[in-house]
Amino acid sequence: MTSLEDELRALGRSAAVPPVADGLAARVLERVAEPPVRRSFGAALRSRWRSLLALLAILLAGALVAEPVRAQVAEWLDIGGVEAVQVPSGPTTAPGAPEVVGDLTVAEAAKSAGFTPVVPKALGTPKHVQASAGFVAMSWRTATGVVRLEQFQAEPQPYYFKKYYSELEYVQSIDGYWFSTPHELVLVKKTGAEQTVRVAGPTLVWVRDGVTYRLEGVPEKDRAVELAR
């Protein structure tokens, strides 16, 4: 008379798993020798912001120059569906945030995105809303220019955004990052091909409940953080 637990263990042992592919180690080594081109393992980082902070400390300490491996590890930073890569010098100016093209209602956007987007109360009803599976963008016209909020399910495969930045700041109250300087916004396709979208101005990026948010067009950090709450 064996217990159900034992039966399950026996079942696991009896299941056929073919051996690992030949040359796995060689292929892995080949790939890690190249600079990272695809999304890195973000989930673990996201769930442990402590590690993120540690990583950030390395970034900020500028300890990138030491050993090649450490440098590679420190060069990227995952924030939900956004991968950030530090570069020695970034663009110095950026045009204002572009307006969203699309006139969906928020409810319609929720339907095609497959999740319910958040609308910051302080900004009121967005002027334009656009959506596709897993992705919603909305914009407002304010006295100081266009404010644009993009939200997407944290891993918007096959795409994700990559930013090349020179400075960022961790914002503890919302567990997000403030990109204070203009940076290049790049879309990476599943094939690994990169497409420069545009240069973006100061942006706040944060993740909440599996959704990544990018808020652009609010040049003051405190105001942006307030809207993000």
Given the rule CB under 8 A, which of 33-41, 94-102, 171-179, 213-221 is the region that contacts another protein?
33-41
Under rule CB under 8 A, residue 155 binds another protein: yes
Indicate the residue among 140 and 177 with the shorter CB distance to another protein.
Answer: 177
CA atoms of 38 and 21, how far apart (whole Å): 22
CB of 144 to another protein, least distance (A): 37
**Considering only residues 52-91, where is the footprint of another protein by CB under 8 A?**
52, 54-55, 58, 66-70, 72-74, 76
Under rule CB under 8 A, residue 152 binds another protein: no
- Is 209 exposed, middle or buried, given 0-12, 13-18 or 19+ CB atoms closer than 10 A? exposed
CB 164 within 8 A of CB 152: no
Give the total of residues touching another protein (CB under 8 A): 53
Under rule CB under 8 A, residue 143 binds another protein: no
Kindly report the CA angle at 90 between 89 and 95, in degrees rounded to 5?
Answer: 155
CA atoms of 180 and 110, how far apart (whole Å): 30
The residues facing 184 across adjacent strands are: 164, 199
Helix axes 68-75, 49-61, angle to 10 degrees: 120
CB of 20 to another protein, least distance (A): 4
| Residue showing tokens 């590690």 | 51
Distance of CA 214 to the CA centre of its chain: 9
CB of 47 to another protein, least distance (A): 6
- For strand 194-200 and strand 128-132, is the pairing parallel, antiparallel, or unpaired? unpaired
Indicate the residue among 8 and 122 with the shorter CB distance to another protein.
Answer: 8
Work out which of 5, 65, 101, 192 binds another protein, going by CB under 8 A.
5
CB of 124 to another protein, least distance (A): 34
Distance of CA 136 to the CA centre of its chain: 14
CB of 83 to another protein, least distance (A): 11
Q: Which residues would be at the binding site for another protein (CB under 8 A)?
A: 1-5, 7-12, 14-21, 24-29, 31-33, 36, 40-41, 43-45, 47-48, 51-52, 54-55, 58, 66-70, 72-74, 76, 155, 157-158
